[in-house]
Every structure is written in C-alpha cells, then in structure tokens.
Structure 1
Amino acid sequence: MASVIVAAACIFLSCSASVAHGRRFVRSSSYDEPCKEMRLYLHDILYDYSNSTSNSTSAAATKPTALSTAVSNPGFFFGRMVVFNDPMTEGRALPPSLEETAVRAQGLYLLDKKEDYSAWLAFSIVFNSTAHRGTLNLMGADPNAATRDISVVGGTGDFFMSRGVATLRTDAFEGFTYFRLQMDIKLYECYVV
C-alpha cells in the first residue's frame, strides 16, 4: 500500500511540475518520428594570427601540448581547446553580419586524438528570433567520419527539456581557419505550451 501511495505522489508531482511551467510533455510515439526537426549550418572561422580578428568567431584557448608536438601527426593538435561563438544559418551562405545573427552556437571543442582529427563538442545553440527563443544544449564525440551523431541533452525556452540527436556533416572545409557543419537536428522529447 505504501508503494502505491509513493507512486501516486510521484505522478502527481511530475504532472504538477509541468502544469506549473505551463507546458505539456510530448514524446514521439516512435524514434522514427521526431516531434521537431530542423536543419542548420554552423560557420566556424578560427583566428590563427593571420586572419582578421573582426571576422573570427573562434579562438584556441590552449597551445598545442608537449604530447601533441612530440607524437601527434602534424595538424591534429591533440589537447587543443577551442572556444567558439559561431553564427548559424538555415542556408549555406555566411550571414552579412557575423555578430548579429538570430541563431548562434556557443561553446567549445577539444581535439582529442593523437593519430587522426577527432574532437569532443559541448555547446548551446542560442535562438533569439521571433520564430524561436531559448537554447538547445548538445554534446558528444565528433570523429573523422562522413556523418556523426551527437546528443541533444536539454534545452530552455521554446526547447524546454528537449532531447534528441543532431547528425553532423562537414559541408565545407578551408584549411584550419574555416569549416561549415550541416546539422540535422531531430528532437524526440518536446514540451509544448
């Protein structure tokens, strides 16, 4: 009897929490059918001391480690951490103003492999437009592969507590200073107002 009372109390508290926020939980009935989908392009312009500081959207926060320079293949920069505040667009073109876009990716990536390019990402996509307000939080491994998946681990605002997967594809790459990622985001847990 006590376990039934505890279970009922848990259900009541979880229902009242979502009502208190004015939101209703919607979970996709199948992992083949997301409750929300979107495609965005992330534009990263790494400052490398030779390009414009006003045009750069990311910077290395660490120098290559001793291990990187001793055993890592040249160009993989094992141990480097890069902090970014990148514009995101619905199309492939760079926006006219890199600083005033309605959607931005803010976070970091760590280069984490000695013998090949590989990174670990942790960032938020920040929405500030009439279409969407809030954030999506993403993290996961970004190995050297044609496509790779990272987790959508939460969100705020219009994306309150969202969960899902973002499939990444490198859409363009110009040396070490510019890359564009195509992100196909599928949310399987959504709250709606």
Structure 2
Amino acid sequence: MKGRKKWLITFFLILIFLSCGKKENKGNNGENGSNIGQTEDQMVTFKDKSIERIISDFEINSKKNKIDIDKFENLKYENQNFYMAEIISKADSNYTILYQGIDIKGLVLKVGVVNNSDLVIIEDMVVNLIEVSDKRITEDEARVLYAGLLSDIKENKLSNSIKYKNGITYAIQIERTGILIFSAQ
C-alpha cells in the first residue's frame, strides 16, 4: 500500500508539473466562450465539454478501441482536482482528467513501464486519448500525430510537444524509469 501511495503522489506531481506554465490566452468570449448554448456538434474539443461528457467519451471510445478501463474516481491532491481511471488492459497505467472548477485543464495517459511488446496497446491508448480530446480527429490522423511526436524525440531530451491545428498542445514525455506520459492541454 505504501508503494501505491508513493506512486500516486509521484504521478500527481508530474501532472502538476506538466500543467504549470501552460496557460492559454482565452481571447474573446465569442471565440472560446463557455459551453452554455452550444449544441453537441459544436462541442468538439475536451475544453468545451463537461467532465461528465469527457468521462462518457472515454468510456465509449475505450470500448470501441478495445481498451478496458475502470470507472473514473474523483481525487483531490494539493488543491488539484482529478478524475482517474485505471487501465485494466495495461498494468500500472491510467487516464487522468485534470480540472479546476468546471473547466477541464488537461487529459493525461500514464503508462507505468513501456516494453517493446506493449507498443501496439500503448499506441491504441494514446489514439484513444487523442480521439477523446477532439472528436474531429480520425483514428488515422491520431496515429500520424502520435508517430510524428515519437519520431521527433531526441535521444538526450526524451520529450516532445506540438500545438496542433485545433489549439490543443499534445505532449509526450518518457522518463528514464520507463514511464511514458502523454498529455493533451
């Protein structure tokens, strides 16, 4: 149990680190406004949706992509709010939704240890997160985005990010311990 607490604390600290300093300029309210009055078709990125809708999208997409996940649990750590679901199909892996108030700040996939035999399932988990982050992104486009991020990682850096055409920053970080973190913010 002690190791699990350490793991959760480390994970949340990494999440906080990833979310620090990535505040976006919201522009005018007409462009990015709240989701009040928007139809389902207009709510395409995770930033426009409610937490409940994102959780539902994860459950639906995960089932479609054959990724078994637990129910999302609400967690609070150091004044930060999270919803986290363990990924049953890959040990020591989970999806996390970082939110503040009613605004979703980011989506994160954490994979405990990456092995060569797991690369296909990890790609599927990343594609799943990308599809949840923006419903306009097709599976093929998500795979190309992920492959592009991976191919541009430098040996001495082990991380990469891109601000995509939808305004979402997708980032990948590989820890020296073998942990992979993929995020959308």
Q: TM-score, normalised by structure 1?
A: 0.25
* Rg comparison, structure with higher value: 1
> Between Structure 1 and Structure 2, which shows a larger proportion of strand residues?
1
Q: TM-score, normalised by structure 2?
A: 0.25
Compare relative contact order (CA 8 Å, sep 6+) and give the higher one, 1 or 2.
Answer: 1
> Between Structure 1 and Structure 2, which shows a larger proportion of helix residues?
2
